[in-house]
Amino acid sequence: MSGILDKLLSDKEGSASRNFLLSALWWSLWGMGAGLFASMEFVNPDLVHNVPQLSMPHLRMWHVNAVAVGWLSMAYVGSIFHMVPTLCKNKLHSEKLGNFTMWAWNGVMVAAFCTLLNGNTEGREYAELGALLDVLVVVALCLLTYNIWMTIVNRKVQKLYVSLWYFLGSLFWFPLVWIIGQRTFVSLPGLNDAIIGWFYGHNILGMWFTTVGVGLMYYLLPRLTKAPLYSHGLSMLGFWGIALFYAPTGTHHITQSPVPEWLKAIAIISSIFLLVPVLTVLTNFFMTMKGRWHMPVNDMALRFAVTSCFFYLLTCLQGPFQATRWVNWYLHFTQWVVGHAHAALLGTFSFIVTASIYYALPRLVGFEKWHSEGLIRLHYWFKLIGFIIFYFALTVAGLVQSAGWAMGYPVDQWSNTLTPYWFTRSIGGLLIVTGQCLFAYNVFRTIYTSRKANVKAKTREVKV
Ligand code: HEM
């Protein structure tokens, strides 16, 4: 019994990070697969009969939670568990606690799969999980924060590298945003509920996905290029800029609703001011890359990271643009917004965590070569081309829809014209999901091959 417990809660160095990364990969297949299936139901609404678990609303809830809480967040935690000890030049405070957190997080994902597909939900966008699961996530986040905090407190270097600032900030903000946003803990009536809902909806992006994602970029770019960061001062400016301007932006999602005008104004102005930290962060990245633009040709982890920076630029130029009143009035309630959401989470942050996994896994599992370099290249192209097709299909569909709304045509006159765009989105989705399957296969084969090689080497040692 204690043997099993020791294996489940291993204290081997790097095991918590590795287990989080592998779990993330596992949930990504389920989450993206569900997204693909849901996208096919847009094209053919009669695809499934009498199986409510596979209906679009159920699939959508599962898709969003699986990719956001399962794929991206678990890959983030796995990366943090690897990067923080490296930057602090010590070990993770407790691998056992890290592995316990990993099991708790996986438990939440299994329960989310069963409940969300079954339609058991609190019925609020991005906050669909039931009350018990909300509490479990808070517990997991507290354990995670404690583990990272203690690792940083006991560090062997004095200076805090900028990635640590971003990770510490995220681990302070994310639990708060989660507790406020899951109205299990804080509940307000009427329109206030929508305001809180979008405070949460946007800040889970701004104070978790963005801040950890940018922290990963700050870690990976200098390491992969073996070049010093262009400017530490600029990186601090970016950090405090994000901390200052992100929090009040959420209301830009509901500017077409009767929330107070002053709140809308603050949200729109802060959204535009966000350009300042974004441009400082990107200037820092692109200047670090100066003279090294040839490197992503051969280094695939770097290629994923640099591509992520370009999508970050795209997302962050688009965001303030569509937050302005008239543009927002025109584009709201259209597929354009879904395209934008995917530019952030699938384009920017999914690319950066993929870079992080390609970088960290060999160091954690102890292998030097991937099973297939060709599969990594294929993965990159499938993901990139798939995403571009996906994004443009939804962006154009959004413009068609906006024109329909703006000219006051009845919905049934233009809604059918969207089918070809949705079909194209499914083609893009199919490429992305195929790329992710190749990724998972490559990871599996590499770990399996390196294990076999280790066993052989050990047997040889014993014989000698
Ligand atoms: C890392 C990968 C992905 C992430 C992080 C992600 C994230 C999201 C998010 C946040 C939403 C809600 C969008 C909104 O309400 O505006 C969403 C919706 C959706 N996603 Fe994804 N997604 C990913 C991959 C995919 C893939 C590969 C497909 C396949 C086609 C897909 C299809 C969909 C569909 C059909 C919806 C519902 C859109 C709607 O309600 O109109 N997603 N996804």
DSSP 273-292: HTHHHHHHHHHHHHHHHTT-
| Structural contact between residues 116 and 65, judged by C-beta atoms closer than 8 angstroms | yes
Would you state the pLDDT for residue 458? 63
Residue located nearest, by CA, to atom 31 of ligand 1: 35
- Which residues have CB under 8 Å from 415's CB, separation 6+? 404
Report the range of poorest mean pLDDT among 76-80, 120-124, 434-438.
120-124
Neighbours of 276 (CB within 10 A): 15
| Structural contact between residues 92 and 100, judged by C-beta atoms closer than 8 angstroms | no
> Residue 369 CA to chain centroid, in angstroms?
26
| Structural contact between residues 168 and 152, judged by C-beta atoms closer than 8 angstroms | yes
Tokens found for residue 441 = 């296969």
Q: In testing the pocket of ligand 1, which one of 208, 334, 346 has its CB within 8 Å of the most ligand atoms?
A: 346
- Which residues have CB under 8 Å from 109's CB, separation 6+? 23, 27, 66, 69, 70
pLDDT above 90 as % of the chain: 88
pLDDT tens readout for residues 2-57? 778 888 899 999 999 999 999 999 999 999 999 999 999 999 999 998 999 999 99
Query: Residue 56 falls within a domain, yes or no?
Result: yes
The four Cα atoms 284, 285, 290, 292 give a dihedral, to 10 degrees, of 150
Distance (angstroms) between ligand 1 centre and the Cα of 68 equals 10
Would you state the pLDDT for residue 328? 97
Distance (angstroms) between ligand 1 centre and the Cα of 56 equals 12
Query: Residue 452 falls within a domain, yes or no?
Result: no
Residue located nearest, by CA, to atom 16 of ligand 1: 338
Radius of gyration of the chain (CA): 22
**Exposed/middle/buried for residue 298 (C-beta within 10 Å: 0-12, 13-18, 19+):** exposed
Mean pLDDT along residues 425-446: 98
Residue located nearest, by CA, to atom 37 of ligand 1: 60
Which pLDDT band, with edges at 50, 70 and 90, does 450 fall under?
confident
Which ranges of 14-72 would DSSP assign to H, the alpha helix?
15-43, 56-65
Report the range of poorest mean pLDDT among 60-69, 261-270, 364-373.
364-373
Which pLDDT band, with edges at 50, 70 and 90, does 368 fall under?
confident
Would you state the pLDDT for residue 6? 84
pLDDT tens readout for residues 274-330? 999 999 999 999 999 999 999 999 999 999 999 999 999 999 999 999 999 999 999
Residue located nearest, by CA, to atom 15 of ligand 1: 338
Which pLDDT band, with edges at 50, 70 and 90, does 457 fall under?
low
Query: Residue 147 falls within a domain, yes or no?
Result: yes
Which pLDDT band, with edges at 50, 70 and 90, does 414 fall under?
confident
- Which residues have CB under 8 Å from 174's CB, separation 6+? 141, 204, 207, 208
Query: Residue 251 falls within a domain, yes or no?
Result: no
Q: How far apart are the first and last CA of the chain?
A: 34
Q: In testing the pocket of ligand 1, which one of 64, 74, 353 has its CB within 8 Å of the most ligand atoms?
A: 64
DSSP string, 93-112: S-HHHHHHHHHHHHHHHHHH
Would you state the pLDDT for residue 179? 93
On the question of pLDDT at 64 being above 50, the answer is yes
Tokens found for residue 258 = 């009767």
Which residues contact ligand 1 via a Cβ below 6 A? 32, 35-36, 38-39, 60, 63-64, 67, 71-72, 337-338, 341-342, 345-346, 350, 425-426, 429, 432-433
On the question of pLDDT at 451 being above 80, the answer is no
Query: Residue 18 falls within a domain, yes or no?
Result: yes
Of the candidates 20, 151, 147, 168, which has an alpha carbon nearest to the alpha carbon of residue 85?
A: 151
pLDDT above 70 as % of the chain: 97
Would you state the pLDDT for residue 164? 97
Distance (angstroms) between ligand 1 centre and the Cα of 241 equals 28
On the question of pLDDT at 367 being above 90, the answer is no
Q: Give the chain's largest Cα–Cα span.
A: 83
Distance (angstroms) between ligand 1 centre and the Cα of 165 equals 30
pLDDT tens readout for residues 237-264? 999 999 889 989 999 999 999 999 999 9
DSSP state of 129: S
Distance (angstroms) between ligand 1 centre and the Cα of 435 equals 16
Instruction: Report the nearest atom of ligand 1 relative to the CA of 68.
Output: 5
Residue located nearest, by CA, to atom 28 of ligand 1: 35
- Which residues have CB under 8 Å from 288's CB, separation 6+? 221, 222, 225, 227, 228, 229, 230
Query: Residue 60 falls within a domain, yes or no?
Result: yes
On the question of pLDDT at 459 being above 70, the answer is no
Report the range of poorest mean pLDDT among 209-213, 307-311, 352-356, 447-451.
447-451
Would you state the pLDDT for residue 5? 83
Alpha carbon distance 61, 38 (integer Å)? 10
- Domain range for 73: 10-158
Q: In testing the pocket of ligand 1, which one of 26, 28, 63, 210 has its CB within 8 Å of the most ligand atoms?
A: 63
Would you state the pLDDT for residue 433? 98
Alpha carbon distance 102, 149 (integer Å)? 17
Alpha carbon distance 298, 215 (integer Å)? 23
On the question of pLDDT at 462 being above 60, the answer is no
Would you state the pLDDT for residue 1? 66
Tokens found for residue 93 = 């405070």
State residue 119 phi and psi, 5-degree precision.
90, 10
Which pLDDT band, with edges at 50, 70 and 90, does 464 fall under?
very low
Alpha carbon distance 229, 248 (integer Å)? 30
Query: Residue 127 falls within a domain, yes or no?
Result: yes
Query: Residue 50 falls within a domain, yes or no?
Result: yes
Residue located nearest, by CA, to atom 34 of ligand 1: 35
**Looking at the 3D structure of the chain, how many domains does it have?**
1
Mean pLDDT rounded to a whole number for the chain: 94
| Structural contact between residues 432 and 359, judged by C-beta atoms closer than 8 angstroms | no
Distance (angstroms) between ligand 1 centre and the Cα of 63 equals 7
Would you state the pLDDT for residue 415? 80
Q: In testing the pocket of ligand 1, which one of 76, 342, 419 has its CB within 8 Å of the most ligand atoms?
A: 342
| Structural contact between residues 217 and 305, judged by C-beta atoms closer than 8 angstroms | yes
DSSP state of 40: H
| Structural contact between residues 226 and 153, judged by C-beta atoms closer than 8 angstroms | no
Residue located nearest, by CA, to atom 43 of ligand 1: 64
Alpha carbon distance 117, 53 (integer Å)? 5
Distance (angstroms) between ligand 1 centre and the Cα of 254 equals 20
pLDDT tens readout for residues 88-100? 999 999 999 999 9
pTM of the shown model:
0.95
On the question of pLDDT at 461 being above 80, the answer is no
Mean pLDDT along residues 429-458: 88
Alpha carbon distance 391, 360 (integer Å)? 29
Tokens found for residue 5 = 């417990």
Of the candidates 447, 432, 295, which has an alpha carbon nearest to the alpha carbon of residue 362?
A: 447
Alpha carbon distance 114, 111 (integer Å)? 5
